[in-house]
Amino acid sequence: MLHSRRILLIISGGIAAYKALDLIRRLRERGATVRCILTAGAQQFITPLSAAALSGEKAYTDLFSLTDESEMGHLRLAQESDLLVVAPASADILAKMAGGIADDLAATALLATDKPILVAPAMNFRMWGHQATQDNLARLAARGVRRVGPNAGPLAENESGMGRMAEPLEIVDAIEKIFAADALLSGRRALITSGPTQEPIDPVRYIANRSSGRQGHAIAAALARLGAECVLVSGPTNEPDPPGVKVVHIETAREMLAACEAVLPADIAVCAAAVADWRADAATAKLKKKAGAVPMLKLVENPDILATLAKAGNRRPKLVVGFAAETEDIVANAQAKRARKGCDWILANDVSPASGVFGGENNTIHLVDEHGVEDWPAMSKRDVGDRLARRIAVFFAPKAAE
Ligand code: CTP
């Protein structure tokens, strides 16, 4: 499956471009998100409209007509993908890639990325056999560009030979293999908490907070992408359940703790939830307004889920990770919190007004562990999830994750 994988599909010129449309469909059936770039050559065979209709995303064509460059620049287009697939890959685009030419949107995206690239060549058999093409392929292979096909068979213009693009299902297979090699956490069980908790005041009112759950959900999805068996215990959020993750929906802190304890034993616990520190002594019947009388809420302390998991004795997950939202003395406060809670790592989130984190898309993280501090640049919550998941993979298997 390709759940929550983002594929940038670059369609270059050639009769096999029509098969790229089938490829889009098959990738989406497997849960991938597909964005397409069509070269000028590709547009002689298929239209951006068909690619957009099948992918459910805008299809991109020309570097200089990107009216929404600020909204989705060519750099972001490549960086917000997990894999770039060039299918069909014409002799021309392979030559551009080998030579580092960036004269259109497709070639620019291919040059402006450090993401893995898979090419599915398709061309006339003489072009395929030409030394120039073979030299280009050898250069690309040496740079780590992967290839699927071509196959031998009937070609355009009643010719036949080597140069037929791999069938869409073969390409899907090759893509799944690339991601499977990423399963660095397979066999590991992970527990993630996310979202706010809601603490009832009476049957209709509650105390809550503004946590969106986006960071916790992104971490669960990222761990699942690396093959971990994930259970996400989440308070009420608007986030969809991440694919490939078992989600337990709870409302209160006490329900969250019970759900977490039911997940143990686990190898990894990441507590990203904004758990309410206190709960009210909830009334069993709705509080009624009485003239001149304001109800007093008696608050009681909630269990600390992170600290409970970190001190769970022989049921303690091998790696326990917590979050800290700090506005000042970020690292010192996070170090103190790490010691107090007994967890292994604290991801200190800089929420000072200057960081722009509050209400923003990005998080600025400082990872505090027993050795010291690692400062991460500001990045999207999805990227924080991916970076944390990789860091966890290194913790469990330093060699394999290198
Ligand atoms: N946490 C928890 N259970 C609680 C409270 C917090 O699991 N009842 C976890 C959170 O998921 C997070 C970390 O503990 O991983 C945050 O610690 P907390 O003491 O709540 O600190 P902050 O919210 O960062 O802020 P403050 O220090 O001001 O309380």
Query: How many angstroms does the Cα of residue 188 sit away from the middle of ligand 1?
Result: 25
Could you tell me whether strands 206-207 and 146-147 are parallel, antiparallel, or unpaired per DSSP bridges?
unpaired
Q: Mutation test of ligand 1: which of 215, 232, 323, 326 has the most ligand atoms closer than 8 Å to its C-beta? A: 323
What is the rounded CA–CA span in Å between residue 149 and residue 167? 9
What is the rounded CA–CA span in Å between residue 84 and residue 87? 10
Distances (CA, A) of 142 to 46, 88, 91, 129, 352: 32, 20, 17, 19, 45
Instruction: Give residue for tokens 């989600």.
Output: 247
> Are the C-beta atoms of 86 and 93 separated by less than 8 Å?
yes
What is the rounded CA–CA span in Å between residue 159 and residue 225? 42
Query: How many angstroms does the Cα of residue 324 sit away from the middle of ligand 1?
Result: 6
Of 89, 88, 71, nearest in space to 80 by CA: 71
Query: How many angstroms does the Cα of residue 244 sit away from the middle of ligand 1?
Result: 27
Nearest Cα residue to atom 18 of ligand 1: 324
Report the SS3 class of residue 265. coil
At 12 the pLDDT is 98
Catalytic residues: 209
The burial class, CB within 10 Å (0-12 / 13-18 / 19+), for 394 is middle
Q: Mean pLDDT in runs of 10 for the chain (402 residues)?
A: 93 96 97 96 97 96 62 75 97 98 94 95 96 98 97 84 95 95 93 98 95 96 96 97 95 98 98 97 90 90 98 97 93 96 96 70 92 94 96 87 60
At 79 the pLDDT is 87
Query: How many angstroms does the Cα of residue 206 sit away from the middle of ligand 1?
Result: 19
Other C-beta atoms within 10 Å of 293: how many? 8
Nearest Cα residue to atom 8 of ligand 1: 304
At 63 the pLDDT is 63
At 71 the pLDDT is 47
Which residue type does 369 have?
D
Instruction: Please list every protein residue whose CB sits less than 6 Å from any atom of ligand 1.
Output: 193, 253, 271-273, 275, 277, 302, 304-306, 322-325
Query: How many angstroms does the Cα of residue 386 sit away from the middle of ligand 1?
Result: 22
End-to-end CA distance of the chain: 24
Distances (CA, A) of 335 to 273, 366, 372: 19, 11, 9
What is the rounded CA–CA span in Å between residue 65 and residue 361? 27
Ranges of beta strands (E only) in 108-258 are 117-121, 146-147, 151-154, 160-164, 189-194, 199-200, 206-207, 229-234, 246-249
Across the beta sheet with 33-38, what order do the strands follow? 59-60, 33-38, 6-11, 83-89, 117-121, 146-147
At 76 the pLDDT is 83
Atom of ligand 1 nearest to the CA of 325: 24
Nearest Cα residue to atom 4 of ligand 1: 304
The structure's pTM equals 0.86
Of 132, 298, 321, nearest in space to 223 by CA: 321
Of 84, 96, 81, nearest in space to 41 by CA: 96
Q: Mutation test of ligand 1: which of 330, 337, 363 has the most ligand atoms closer than 8 Å to its C-beta? A: 337
Atom of ligand 1 nearest to the CA of 303: 8
